[in-house]
Every structure is written in structure tokens, then in C-alpha cells.
């Protein structure tokens, strides 16, 4: 018997991201000085080092940058196989997430994806991604 997957540690900078996810809205941080989008939230811009930052809605689309298929997982509430994914958002940042609603044999790098939201427990909602329909 294994344990359920751990919940994220939510600090002051991450709180808006998780609050947005609970509303089924993907938020990323944007620098008001240079326009750079970044994830995870930080106190400074990774591009210009500016400190005038704001959480803004992401369009929620991108591509599967890289992935791995887990066949033997450590958590009761995450059935295997599952896909751990690096998703490159259209705004630029890369998120570590899961690819859902996709046969692992069909996952491909550069596959278009869109955000979806998976409720966990204790009010936490996890942004995940699924293949995006073309056309």
C-alpha cells in the first residue's frame, strides 16, 4: 500500500496560481517591464530582472515539449501508466504537468495540447494537459 500523492506546498508567490487553477484558469507571471511570461512565480523577471510582475491568464495551449511514461507509480490515486509532461505554453514558459486523455503510445513531442483541470483533494485543482483537436 502506498500513500496518496502529496499536495503542493503553496507559498505567497504560488497562491495566485493555485487560486486560478481552482477556478479552472491557468495563470502565468508576466513582467510589465519587458513582457516576458514565466512559470513558476518569482519575485523578479528571469529575462530583465525587473520586479514589476503580475499574474495573467494563459491561453492554456502549447505543445508537448518532452515526456516520460510512468509504468510503476508510487501513489494510490494516480493509476499507471501515466504521462509526466513538459509543456511549452504558447506564451513561452514550460510547465511540468501530466498529459491526460492520451494513449501513451500516441504521445509525441511537438503534439499540440490544451489545459484541463483535475481536482485532487482539499480544494486543490491540478492543471493538466490533453491533446488539442486540430481544426
For every residue of the chain, DSSP letters joined together read --PPPPPPP--TTTHHHHHHHHTT--EEEEETTT--EESS--SS-TTT----EEEEE---EEEEEEEEEESS-S-TTSPSSEEEEEEEETTS-EEEEEE-SS-GGG--TT-EEEEEEEE-STT-EEEEEEEPPP-
Q: What average pLDDT does the segment 16-28 reach?
A: 98
pLDDT score recorded for residue 76: 85
| Per-residue confidence (pLDDT) for residue 135, from 0 to 100 | 58
Burial of 110 (0-12, 13-18, 19+ CB in 10 A): exposed
pLDDT at position 108:
98
The ranges assigned to domains in the chain are: 15-131
Question: Which letter does DSSP use for residue 120 in this model?
Answer: -
Closest CA to 5 of 128, 101, 123, 121: 121
pLDDT tens track for 50-103: 999 999 999 999 999 999 999 999 988 899 999 999 999 999 999 999 999 999
Contact assessment for residue 51 and residue 45, using Cβ atoms and an 8 Å cutoff: yes
Q: Report the chain's mean pLDDT, rounded to a whole number.
A: 95
Banded model confidence at residue 1, pLDDT cuts 50, 70, 90:
low
Q: Alpha-carbon distance 42 to 53, whole Å?
A: 9
pLDDT at residue 47, as a whole number: 97
Amino acid at each position: 500500500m502506498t500513500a496518496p500523492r502529496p499536495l503542493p506546498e503553496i507559498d505567497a508567490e504560488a497562491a495566485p496560481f493555485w487560486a486560478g487553477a481552482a477556478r479552472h484558469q491557468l495563470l502565468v507571471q508576466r513582467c510589465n517591464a519587458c513582457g516576458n511570461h514565466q512559470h513558476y512565480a518569482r519575485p523578479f523577471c528571469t529575462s530583465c530582472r525587473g520586479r514589476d510582475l503580475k499574474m495573467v491568464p494563459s491561453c492554456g495551449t502549447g505543445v508537448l515539449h518532452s515526456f516520460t511514461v510512468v509504468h510503476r507509480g508510487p501513489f494510490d490515486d494516480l493509476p499507471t501508466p501515466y504521462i509526466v509532461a513538459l509543456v511549452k505554453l504558447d506564451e513561452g514558459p514550460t510547465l511540468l504537468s501530466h498529459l491526460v486523455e492520451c494513449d501513451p503510445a500516441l504521445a509525441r513531442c511537438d503534439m499540440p495540447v490544451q489545459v484541463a483541470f483535475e481536482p485532487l483533494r482539499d480544494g486543490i485543482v491540478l492543471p493538466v494537459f490533453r491533446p488539442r483537436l486540430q481544426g
